[in-house]
Amino acid sequence: MKKKNYLLSFFIVTGLLGIFPLKAQNRKPNIIVIFADDLGYGDLGVYGHPTIQTPHLDRMAFEGQKWTNFYVAAPVCTPSRAALMTGRLPVRTGMSSEKRRVLFPDSKGGLPQTEITIGKKLKEAGYHTAAIGKWHLGHLPAYQPNAHGFDYYYGIPYSNDMDRVQEGEYFEVLKQPQVDYFNVPLIQNGKEIERPTDQTTLTKRYTEEAVKFIQENKEDPFFLYLAHSMPHVPLFASPDFQGGSPRGLYGDVLREIDWSVGEVLKALKENGIDENTLVVFTSDNGPWLIFEDHGGSAGMLRGGKGGTFDGGMRVPAIFRWPGKIEPGVVLEIGSTLDLFPTFVSLTQSQLPTDRIYDGYDLSQALLNGGKSQREEIYYYRDTEVFAVRKGPYKVHFVTQNDYGSRDKTQHTPPLVYHLDQDPSEKYNISQKHPELIQEVRDLLEKHKATLKPVVNQLER
């Protein structure tokens, strides 16, 4: 009888190993970051938009976690992306500037080789890596994704409104765009393959490349950074998505990005790796409000892209990992700065000890229902801290319009808002909290003491 039981167990185990190879059972998780450009806090159905349909992102949120207090490190493209990639504030890497807020086609600098990106770190851990979409961390060869730990790169090197060749008033040109108005190149592994890029098919082609990468690397752990070029203006949608949204062209663009998310999730299921893949969806900053109906919405948050009210820096954030992440709405504070250390933890790697990191490991909050370690947010506008959040309180030392004005207002005493009770930052309660203001001042001074001079890459 024992012999029969032994043989039965042997056949069961060997049969299971045949279905689920040992390599697959022990492999590290795949990680996908889907990054939108200028997507506002209030632009998704699951975040409350009344007319933009985002069924795939809504389902992703229902199957995973929707974070409501998730921030970026800067309210504009280049510094925000540098922070996500490195887990370090842009002021530490030379990727922020008071003179040129982002990199341009004539810029000579970019993310320094001395920085360790998520791509570089995970590649060291045995991952296949790909960056698909907008990069904006340097267009010269020394700064492109292939030089920063990515095996494969397919996308545009900077914002889709750059290399403008069409004459005319900037806002009018961008609100009535044609493909040939912008001489933006499409690059594949350092080689220019199309110029100008046909932006009407960019979202579709990014998606096809992402699905192909998933299919080709399903047997090994991979990291995919899928950074959409839109809804940054100019807005373009492929023919299948044009004219289908009550929200107009902006809604069409988001419907296609939502479709793209659905295709990525479908590819994971079809290739049998859905339950071994963490997918994160978020945005690089808030909506570009000056573009009116071609810009997005921050919902009930105040301000937008370029500024340090929450509308400029609090963004949608959805985490999905079937069987690992317990679905729910998370009110904890998080940041794109936290993605680097979280991924390092999930892949059983170690953070380098030769530099300061500004992110926290969110894995306990994601996987075990724990608390986020993050209690503070530094609201940098370029190289200066305009405000600090500590717990539910936000203290504004300086305010300035998102765009259109260079006048800064120094506040004495600083403005204080309770973001849990007043997310729209309407009711200043500074007179009630003098001790809090001093506490935050001390926190900020302690933070500033950790900063060291670096070469400014945006001014080169």
Q: Which residues are catalytic?
A: 77, 136
The amino acid present at 138, given as its one-letter code, is G
Contacts for 282 with CB less than 8 Å, ≥ 6 apart? 33, 34, 35, 36, 70, 72, 315, 316, 317, 318, 336
What is the arrangement of strands in the sheet containing 317-320, beginning at the earlier edge strand? 191-194, 186-188, 152-155, 128-133, 222-227, 30-36, 277-283, 317-320, 65-71, 328-335
Q: Quick check: helix, strand or coil at residue 77?
A: helix
CA neighbor of 254 nearest in space, from 277, 214, 283, 280: 283
Beta strands 376-381; 409-418: pairing state: unpaired
Listed in sequence order, the DSSP H helices in 2-100 are: 2-19, 22-26, 55-63, 77-86, 90-93
**Strands ordered across the beta sheet of 393-399:** 376-381, 384-390, 393-399, 409-418
The DSSP letter of residue 150 is: -
What letter would DSSP give residue 326? P
Given phi > 0 = left and psi -120 to 50 = alpha, else beta, which region is 126? left
**Helices 249-270 + 55-63 axis angle, to 10:** 50
- DSSP assignment of 10-37, as one string? HHHHHHHHHHS-HHHHHPPPEEEEEEES
Distance between CA atoms of 46 and 50, rounded to whole angstroms?
10
b/e sequence 365-379, b meaning 16+ C-beta within 10 Å: bbbeeeebbbeebbb
Report how far residue 347's alpha carbon sits from residue 365's, in angstroms, rounded to the nearest whole number.
16
Residue 369's φ and ψ, nearest 5 degrees, are: 70, 20
In whole angstroms, what is the distance from residue 303 CA to residue 294 CA?
A: 16
User: Of the candidates 180, 224, 226, 172, which has an alpha carbon nearest to the alpha carbon of residue 200?
Assistant: 180
HEC profile of 171-221: HHHHHCCCHHHECCCEEECCEEEECCCCHHHHHHHHHHHHHHHHHHCCCCC
